[in-house]
Structure 1
């Protein structure tokens, strides 16, 4: 483990504890630094603000899963792995999903998911998106980000295979074909 990974993990673990008693917007950087034993200057070496910590964890969880859909993973494979990764960090994400602003995981995940699927299909399939397809992609990813948020807010009790089936049932056929073949 690199020094960067070690420090980021200490900060993540501290956030995971603090988020059990406060909302993310109530947690201050100084609280996180005290709980993690990391100085403020070190914190700002790796993160911009308090919101960038769960975003870092999100990206770490999505890099081998959601962000690979349409590239090396099918629609269902990527989402199954995504939900399994979120479930492995349940203590954090069931609390984080209650945040609702531009920095929230709902919005951040939507932007990352949209960009990844769009880029992966363009690069792998050399697909040129029509305006109509981009609207469908946008609305589909936004709806699925909201479903993921609901799953998190509900305590992640719906089994992974069932939630993946729900995702599969709510994707336009052309999009699934672009991601799966």
Structure 2
């Protein structure tokens, strides 16, 4: 119980700092001081600040997976998944502009993939699409959503992501189902 509390305290202090300054300006000493622990305690849990960042994104991904509701549209699911980014815009921007951008890109890619794979599977329950095509359709939308989010971050996160996601949903409404139906009639190569 104490270990979970300490991990949570370290993570919260780290997120708070990320919302205040660039990743490169955050040290283990800063985090330990903010938590009222010594550096050895930090190193008991994490090898460095980057390991903490990686765990933070993994934890957020697991939260998305745990909270996913099959009755939601992919749009609602993606908006739900974007909650962490919305609550911590400056932290996300600071990671995006750091040498650890890859951690953020992987997080966004994994969230997009999780949402789209589940949605495509749900949509294909009554459509006999091939497994390869279902994977291809989910991958296409995963890449598209990842690219859109990265563009949003690079442009300063000015637009409301909920508005953009809903608009994409309206513009592409029915395309996933149509693609799945096409899979059933196309020759497998």
TM-score normalised according to structure 1 size: 0.66
CA positional deviation for 1:77: 1.4
Which is worse superposed, 82-91 or 64-73?
64-73
Contact 1:90–1:156 (CA under 8 A) maintained in structure 2:
yes
Q: Hey, what's the Cα distance between the residues in 1 that align with 2:179 and 2:3?
A: 39
Structure in which a larger fraction of residues adopt helix: 2
Gaps of 5+ in 2: 181-189
**2:72 maps to which residue?**
73
User: How many residue pairs are counted as aligned between the two chains?
Assistant: 176
> Could you say what the CA RMSD is over the residues aligned between the two structures, in angstroms?
4.0
C-alpha distance in 1 between matches for 2:80 and 2:10 = 24
Distance 1:14 1:83 in 2: 21
CA displacement at 1:108 relative to structure 2:
2.8
Assess, with a 3 A threshold, how the Cα gap between structure 1 residues 121 and 132 changes in structure 2: closer, same or farther. Answer: closer
| Cα shift readout 1:143-166 (whole Å, capped 9, x = no counterpart) | 212322332343433124312224
Q: Which runs of 5+ in 1 are unaligned?
A: none
- Other-structure match for 1:42: 41
**Segment of structure 1 superposing worse, 158-167 or 73-82:** 158-167
Greater CA drift, 107-116 or 138-147: 107-116
Q: Give the SS at the match of 2:14.
A: helix
Who wins on radius of gyration, i.e. which is larger?
2
**What is the SS of the residue equivalent to 1:86?**
helix
User: In 2, distance between residues paired with 1:155 and 1:118?
Assistant: 28
The answer to whether 1:21 aligns with 2:21 is: yes
1:53–1:66: structure 2 CA closer, same or farther, 3 Å change rule? same
Aligned residue for 2:166? 165
In 1, Cα distance between equivalents of 2:148 and 2:25: 25
Farther-moved stretch of structure 1 (124-133 vs 81-90): 124-133
Secondary structure of the corresponding residue to residue 156 of structure 1:
coil
How far apart in 2 are the matches of 1:3 and 1:72? Answer: 37
